[in-house]
A and B are shown apart, each in its own frame.
Chain A
Amino acid sequence: MTSATIYKRELSSYFSQPTAYAIMVIFLALSMGLTFSFGNFMRVGDASLEWTFFFWHPWIYMLLAPAVGMKLWADEQRTGTIELLGTFPLSTWSAIIGKFLAAATVWLAALLLTFPIVATVNYLGDPDNGAIFSGYIGSFLVCCTFLAITMLVSACTRDQVVCLIVSVAICVTMVLCGYDDFTRELGKAASPTIVEAVTSIGVWEHFRSLNRGLFRLQDFVWFGSFIVVCLLGTSAILSAKRA
């Protein structure tokens, strides 16, 4: 119940300020723009949208997701409102859930606004709508993972800029680590076990399988546990900071 109140406040704060709109516009411009230019959307017959559309999402999220999540706890600590939250009769956990869901909702809205792409492929050809649907789920999960990381970082600092830089660095690492070109280069220099270890912290393996319409339990477990661990870490850091 208190989570819902926190959620409402955070969401209205996103939409009463330019943040949410700016993020949505930039996301739509980038995702559509990349799809129609480098993605060669009009030429290749990509029925699942895997290469033309979803391929770009992790690259966009690694820069933009931290911009949405950075204020969540950093601002709270800078303005001192954390002292209000900490003395209201609510658990840290319900505040974390409320804030996380609010940030995720902003991204869900941005993602839903890409529907013209789906409408276009359906109009032009005969796409695999099941794969497109699971591609959206995969894309949203990558985004939520990055938001959870940002939330963890924002609990550590009162400075939004520091939070942004550190979270972007972590997200960029996670995107690069599983990326084919990067692992191929790494394979020349390092042993297979190292390559495997590096790949396993990357998002691509799990994202790709969802792009192809495969609902593998392991992918959901990977994303789910990553998010839960980050949120638990946030809770631990927030209580450690007060002691």
Chain B
Amino acid sequence: MIEVESLTKQFGSKRAVDNLSFTVKKGEVLGFLGPNGAGKSTTMRMITGFIPPTSGDAKVCGISIIDDPTAAKTRIGYLPESAPLYNDMTVTGFLRFCAEVRGIRGSARNEAVEKAIETCFLTGVAKQSIDTLSKGYRHRTCLAQSLLHDPDVLILDEPTDGLDPNQKHEVRQLIKRLGEKKAILFSTHILEEVEAACTRAVIVDRGRIVADGTPAQLLEQSGTGSLTDLFRRLTTRDTEAAA
């Protein structure tokens, strides 16, 4: 349902994403791994239509994000890396606004908001103003926003960042559960999450894919049975890059 076709992004002289191609089918959860600055967030921003690619295309449910951005965006739920929120709103108010922007109105809107609040365990803070939320709750509020319209495609940029161990576990379970009926692309720096939630994972380094496979295949490829070893072997370390 997500088809990325030779996506490239050039920032000045820096090539952040280099001719990247992959697909995520329905029922698949693709883990997106890579060192800092590998181009994960940039790729996600291009797929969600926030920044235009220098070349290449991304299709969501068969709709090109370049040719018909509005139609493609209705199919996507997106959690940006920084989990941005409108600080002057309450959690419920914010989610209602997001639902309305997506064309969900009336009682359908209230139901969707209720459901998202339950799914992301926000009941306790539903009436609280967003600027008084703790980091983890902010992150979960933004995650709730991406689930409101029950999208076919979920793109989550570090969904477990800033969550406590209980919530990390819950969110992984949530991703796994949702992944049965959707196509999910999520990035993470926690390699255990690959085994816990993903059906497939890719490792990107400097804008290119350096490994692609099911968690079992990757473990085999590592030779030592540790994803960390594989990750360290395949990706450029800043210390080397500087040398």
- Chain B associates with chain A: yes
Chain A residues with CB under 8 Å of chain B are 1-2, 5-6, 8-9, 13, 16-17, 79-84, 86-91, 242-243
A-B contact pairs, 29 of them (CB 8 A): A1-B103, A2-B101, A2-B103, A5-B100, A5-B101, A6-B101, A8-B97, A9-B89, A9-B97, A13-B89, A79-B86, A79-B87, A80-B80, A80-B84, A81-B86, A83-B45, A83-B80, A84-B98, A84-B145, A86-B50, A87-B48, A87-B49, A87-B50, A88-B101, A89-B73, A89-B74, A89-B101, A91-B70, A242-B50
- With A5-B97, A79-B84 already in contact, the answer to whether A89 and B70 are too (CB < 8 A) is yes
Nearest-CB residue, chain B, relative to A84: B84
Closest beta carbon of chain B to A83's beta carbon, Å: 4
Which applies to chain B's interface (DSSP): helix, strand, loop or mixed?
loop
Please, which residues of chain A bring their CB within 8 A of the CB of B74?
A: 89
- With A9-B86, A13-B86, A17-B88 already in contact, the answer to whether A86 and B101 are too (CB < 8 A) is no
Interface residues as binary, B100-112 with A (CB distance below 8 Å gives 1, 0 otherwise):
1111000000000
Q: A83-B84, A89-B71 are in contact. List 13 more A-B contacts (CB 8 A).
A: A9-B86, A9-B97, A13-B89, A80-B80, A80-B82, A81-B84, A86-B49, A87-B50, A87-B73, A87-B80, A88-B98, A242-B51, A242-B52
- With A9-B86, A84-B80 already in contact, the answer to whether A90 and B50 are too (CB < 8 A) is no
Q: In the complex, what distance in Å separates the CA atom of A38 from the CA atom of B76?
A: 59
Closest beta carbon of chain A to B92's beta carbon, Å: 13
Please, which residues of chain B bring their CB within 8 A of the CB of A16?
A: 88
A1, A16, A83 interface centre (most CB from chain B within 10 Å): A83
Please, which residues of chain B bring their CB within 8 A of the CB of A242?
A: 50-52
Q: Is B88 a contact partner of A243 (Cβ separation < 8 A)?
A: no
- B66 contacts the other chain (CB 8 A): no
Q: In the complex, what distance in Å separates the CA atom of A13 from the CA atom of B48?
A: 27
Out of A13, A86, A88, name the residue touching B88 (CB < 8 Å): A13
Q: In the complex, what distance in Å separates the CA atom of A13 from the CA atom of B103?
A: 21
Nearest-CB residue, chain B, relative to A13: B88
Q: In the complex, what distance in Å separates the CA atom of A84 from the CA atom of B50?
A: 9
- B137 contacts the other chain (CB 8 A): no
Q: In the complex, what distance in Å separates the CA atom of A91 from the CA atom of B73?
A: 11
